[in-house]
Every structure is written in structure tokens, then in C-alpha cells.
Copies of this chain bind each other. A is one copy, B any other.
Amino acid sequence: MTYFIPGPMSRGPLGGGELERRRGYLERHAAPGTSVSVRDWHRGPASIESSAEEYLSVPGLLEAAPLLEAEGTGAIIVGCFGDPGLSGAREVTAIPVVGPGQASAHLAAQLGSRFAVLTVVDEVVPAIRRQMRGHGLDGFLSEVLAVDVPVLELRGRRDEVVDELELAGRRALRNGADALVLGCMTMGFLDVARDLQEQLEIPVVNPVLASLKLAETLVATGMAPSAAAYPTPRKRLDAATV
């Protein structure tokens, strides 16, 4: 399967090494027999920290998804917690396309009654609320809290992030959450969910692993998003854009 980063990560500050590092992380957590490749795209935002940037990442995904399917990949994981373009990508492919935000929320909703999302910057908080409403999961979301560290600084300020996540997590618990979701893929790759889970003694969903495991589940069981919910567009997309 393919973890698809809808932007030019290898040409940005994180560099191509980050792709390799992510592939390693995914493979270490994949079920035996699952092979995972990581791909970025030559166009798209350097990082995704707003609804606007989410949208700018989608044309890359829509162009790449049929190519990846044609290459034979078994499933695609959208490399952004906001699930940008999820419905569109499902329309243009027959293989499973997995949204990390959706996968994480449904996982958290099975482990507790109400989950909080802990994310990077304040600007994405309302976008994540809209995302959960759009997925029909409003009733499970208690709140969204930000640690105020931008995506591209997460790795360099890892200790600070860990401390802030613990603070935000404790606040969310006091406000009624009984499960947490990390609301950013780069945060997921920091590999802090499990430590946080042990400190706070409630489940902390890592969206990287939630989406990886959902992709594995769909491939293993021969399932894919419904063609009745995501019908193939009547026009060819490359003809559709002039």
C-alpha cells in the first residue's frame, strides 16, 4: 500500500530522508506481509495547517491516486489528518483510500464515549471541528485543543510538544474526554502517542497507525469504499479540466 504525502516534502526542509524515515516507521508497525511505500508529490503545500492548504493538496492526490492504482498498490493512505480530497479520491479509484482523521475518530469512538483531538496550531481547530461534523461524528467529539507548534517545527521542538500534549490531554480529560486523538500526521510520526497514553492512562490514537491498520483491514477483507457513496465521475477528469 502507499502512504501518499500530497506535497513536495522531499524538496522541503524535512528532505527526502523524512520520507524514508516515515516508510521505516510504517513498515515497523505494519502486519507481516504488508509492504508500504511512501510517496510525495511535486506540487502541493509544504505543510497543511489550514483549510486552504488542505484544498491545495487535493489536485495532487486526485492525479496520483489512479496512477498509484494502475501501478498496483493495494490501498492509499491520505497523508494528512484533515482527510483532504478523501471523497474525490474514492470516486476516481476502486481501491481503498483511507482518511487518517476519519479512521482515528472511528477508532477512538470505540474505545471511549467522547474523544478530544490534540493538534498543532489554533488555525486548524475550526477545520477539525468541521471535519468531524462532516463525518457525522459530532456527537463523539468533546473538543479540539492546539499545542501551538507549527508542523514543520514539531520534530525540532519534540520535548516541548510532549509537555504541551500532556497538559492539553489533562485539560481534555477534566472537560470530559475519555480518549484522545493526535490531530496531525507529523505529530503521529513523532511516536509520542504511546508515551502519552501511559502518562494519562487513557487511549491516545496515533492517526498514522489508525490509518495504516484500517488500510490493512480493508485489503485483508477485500473491502473498499462504497461505489454508491463515491460513484465514478461520468466525465474523465483530465477532459474535465481545460
Contacts and interface: CB of A to CB of B under 8 A. Distances in A.
Interface of A: 7-8, 11-12, 29, 31-33, 42-47, 49-56, 58-59, 62, 85, 87-92, 99, 102-103, 106-107, 109-113, 121-123, 126-127, 129-130, 133-134, 136, 138-140, 143, 150, 173, 176, 178-179, 194, 197, 201-203, 205-206, 209-210, 213-214, 216-217, 220-235, 237, 239-242
A241 B45 contact: yes
Contacts of A58: 55-56, 58
Contacts of A139: 136, 138-139
B220 A213 contact: yes
A43 B226 contact: no
A202 to B, nearest CB: 5
A134 B138 CA distance: 10
B126 A12 contact: no
A109 B106 CA distance: 9
- Max count, chain B CB within 10 A of own CB: residue among A123, A229, A235: A229
A16 to B, nearest CB: 14
A88 B56 CA distance: 9
A70 to B, nearest CB: 16
B237 A31 contact: no
Contact of A51 (B102, B129, B227, B230): B230
A199 B188 CA distance: 38
A203 B224 contact: yes
Contacts of A173: 228
Contacts of A109: 106, 136
Contacts of A229: 111-113, 126, 178-179
Nearest to A226: B112
Contacts of A203: 223-226
Contacts of A45: 235, 237, 240-241
B55 A85 contact: yes
Given A59-B59, A228-B178, A53 B220 contact: no
